[in-house]
Amino acid sequence: MNIKAPRGAKDILPQETLCWYLLEERFKEMCHIYNYYEIRTPLFEDAELFIRSVGEESDVVEKEMYVFKDRGGRELALRPEGTAGVTRAYLQHGMHNLPQPVKLFYFGPMFRYDRPQAGRQRQFYQMGIEIFGTKEPSADVEIIKFTADFFLGLGFNNLKLHINSVGCEKCRPFYQEALKKYADERLAQLCRDCQRRAQFNPLRLLDCKIKNCRELMKDSPQIDHFLCDPCRDHFNEVLALLEVLKVPYYVDSHLVRGLDYYTNTAFEFFSENAGPQGSLGGGGRYDKLAESLEGPPVPGVGVALGVERILLAMEEEGLASPETSDPEGVFLATGSPELKEKALLMAYTLRERGLKADADYANRSLKAQMKFAHRKRFRHVIILGKEEKLKNVIQLRDMLKGEQQELSFEEALNILTAKA
Ligand code: HAM
């Protein structure tokens, strides 16, 4: 067949899903402990939502967004990230009228048309958490501490937290002006996009992916010299609280992140071993996002983690392998075709008792069925042959211990349900 999965989109195969479950379960468990509730928003939204929130000048909107017109002529976009849609839903459903803060989490696919490579896909999964309705620095720190603990729980102990403040609408214009001035002096050497960024959105000069532009911007002014007092206080409080909670950080004064909605705190977790796609997750505060969507002023802060990147980094560091699951369940094997129906009925009885059970659907020989049960990592096999049928017994084989006993089916059932 010539039709393959689209470039940049991956099938997640059964042998990989165990690792996905591990991550998903750990994430949801932490969300429960931290008191976050799940929200599921549409995979596509009005394109305008992302233009207004993520920003018209951002790479995500300008170059990477999948935009299309539906049959009714509406301009829609596949969501490139989760925060905009969650904020839209928060406002649309009047969650600002609930006791604040409101703490939400999500898990699902996002879409960005970027050049695919290891750790960078066109369809990728994010898991994210957002806190709405508080400006407190302790909320920023909760988001960061959650993320740090999540990674530690998976076994990562070498991730680096980069953190910065991108200021607010009052102080940032002075910084942008300084950046623009710096860029204007080097305009001819910058790429076309950066020449335009210098004009319309100088902050974006700091996340150009082109090496030469990065080199040129290395010595550009740093935002910490421009922060107003409230922004500086907020940032200092975040850092002080991180120290209290013993979360190590590195202040990276050129970290601005690729999305326009950030105010104050911006941060990213990097894996040093994961190469150019080393950012396993990032987030920050977005106190003006709700207003940019014509909502009331609702501050917010959150993070999104890249599932595929985390799994890749886990594999590289030997933190997870699909083979780590223990053998489980019961396979019903029979050497005689006329006993097939009886074996199937036994499988249904086991399932009714909540046990994983399966039987042969391929008319294999008994030997081939045993091999199949081993490869599929069944812990037990119930063997039902003509002789067993006559004696009204079965053979229960423990595939791990290599032991076998002759029992009535009821006895086997009792043993298996007691173990489960
Ligand atoms: P982001 O930094 O654009 O932030 O994405 C978060 C994470 O998603 C990245 O750190 C990375 O792990 C993963 N990621 C991004 N693009 C790709 C891709 N093409 N392929 C694979 N993984 C990718 C946001 O999306 C914000 N909404 C985060 C946030 C939540 N800010 C506040 N709340």
CATH of the domain at 303: 3.30.930.10
Residues 161 and 66 in one domain: yes
The pLDDT-based confidence of 26 (bands split at 50, 70, 90) is very high
- What integer pLDDT is reported at residue 325 of this predicted model? 67
Mutate to test the pocket of ligand 1, among 63, 86, 102, 110 (most ligand atoms within 8 A of CB): 110
Burial letters 189-201, b for 16+ CB under 10 A, else e: ebeebbbebbeeb
Q: Whose CA is nearest to atom 12 of ligand 1?
A: 306
Distance in Å, CA 152 to ligand 1 centroid: 19
- What integer pLDDT is reported at residue 15 of this predicted model? 84
Name the pTM for this structure: 0.91
Distance in Å, CA 368 to ligand 1 centroid: 47
CA atoms within 13 A on the CB side of 242: 26
Q: Whose CA is nearest to atom 9 of ligand 1?
A: 281
**322 has pLDDT over 60:** no
- State if residue 100 touches ligand 1 by the CB under 6 angstroms criterion: no
Residues 303 and 335 in one domain: no
Distance in Å, CA 46 to ligand 1 centroid: 20
Mutate to test the pocket of ligand 1, among 159, 279, 301 (most ligand atoms within 8 A of CB): 279
- State if residue 79 touches ligand 1 by the CB under 6 angstroms criterion: no
- What integer pLDDT is reported at residue 323 of this predicted model? 53
Q: Answer whether residue 183 is part of any domain.
A: no
Residues 371 and 404 in one domain: yes
Q: What is the mean pLDDT of residues 325-330?
A: 88
Residues 365 and 404 in one domain: yes
Domain count, the chain: 2
Residues 283 and 144 in one domain: yes
Q: Answer whether residue 22 is part of any domain.
A: yes
Q: Answer whether residue 383 is part of any domain.
A: yes
Q: Answer whether residue 399 is part of any domain.
A: yes
Alpha helices, DSSP H, located in 317-395: 340-352, 366-375, 386-391
Residue type, 307: V
- What integer pLDDT is reported at residue 136 of this predicted model? 98
Percent of the chain with pLDDT over 90: 88
Distance in Å, CA 31 to ligand 1 centroid: 18
Average pLDDT, the chain: 94
- State if residue 302 touches ligand 1 by the CB under 6 angstroms criterion: yes
Nearest to 242 by CA among 305, 164, 299: 164
- To 10 degrees, what angle do helices 137-154 and 229-244 make? 40
Domain boundary among 284, 317, 350: 317
Q: Name 373's Cβ contacts closer than 8 Å, sequence gap at least 6.
A: 331, 333, 381, 399
What is the tens place of the pLDDT at every residue in 199-256?
989 999 998 889 999 999 999 999 999 999 999 999 999 999 999 999 999 999 999 9
Q: Answer whether residue 322 is part of any domain.
A: no
Q: Answer whether residue 405 is part of any domain.
A: yes
Domain boundary among 273, 289, 317: 317
Domain boundary among 287, 317, 347: 317
In this structure, of 13-17, 280-284, 403-407, the range with the lowest mean pLDDT score is 13-17
- State if residue 128 touches ligand 1 by the CB under 6 angstroms criterion: yes
Residues 308 and 334 in one domain: no
**35 has pLDDT over 80:** yes
- Torsional sign, CA 48, 52, 58, 60: negative
Atom of ligand 1 nearest to the CA of 126: 8
Q: Name 86's Cβ contacts closer than 8 Å, sequence gap at least 6.
A: 39, 41, 104, 106, 128, 130, 302
Residues 339 and 308 in one domain: no
Burial letters 221-238, b for 16+ CB under 10 A, else e: bebeebbeeebeebbeeb
Residues 139 and 39 in one domain: yes
Residues 256 and 376 in one domain: no
The pLDDT-based confidence of 272 (bands split at 50, 70, 90) is confident
The pLDDT-based confidence of 321 (bands split at 50, 70, 90) is low
The pLDDT-based confidence of 320 (bands split at 50, 70, 90) is low
**CATH number for the domain harbouring residue 358:** 3.40.50.800
Q: Answer whether residue 73 is part of any domain.
A: yes
What is the tens place of the pLDDT at every residue in 378-405?
999 999 999 999 999 999 999 999 999 9
The pLDDT-based confidence of 276 (bands split at 50, 70, 90) is low
**274 has pLDDT over 90:** no
Residues 387 and 291 in one domain: no
- State if residue 202 touches ligand 1 by the CB under 6 angstroms criterion: no
Domain of residue 366 covers: 330-419
**420 has pLDDT over 80:** no
Residues 310 and 344 in one domain: no
Residues 237 and 386 in one domain: no
What is the tens place of the pLDDT at every residue in 144-195?
999 999 999 999 988 999 999 999 999 999 999 999 999 999 999 999 999 9
Distance in Å, CA 48 to ligand 1 centroid: 20
- Rg (C-alpha) for the chain, rounded Å, is 28
Tokens of 114: 């970027």
User: Would you give the DSSP letter of residue 224?
Assistant: G
Q: Answer whether residue 386 is part of any domain.
A: yes
The pLDDT-based confidence of 419 (bands split at 50, 70, 90) is confident
- State if residue 83 touches ligand 1 by the CB under 6 angstroms criterion: yes
**324 has pLDDT over 60:** no
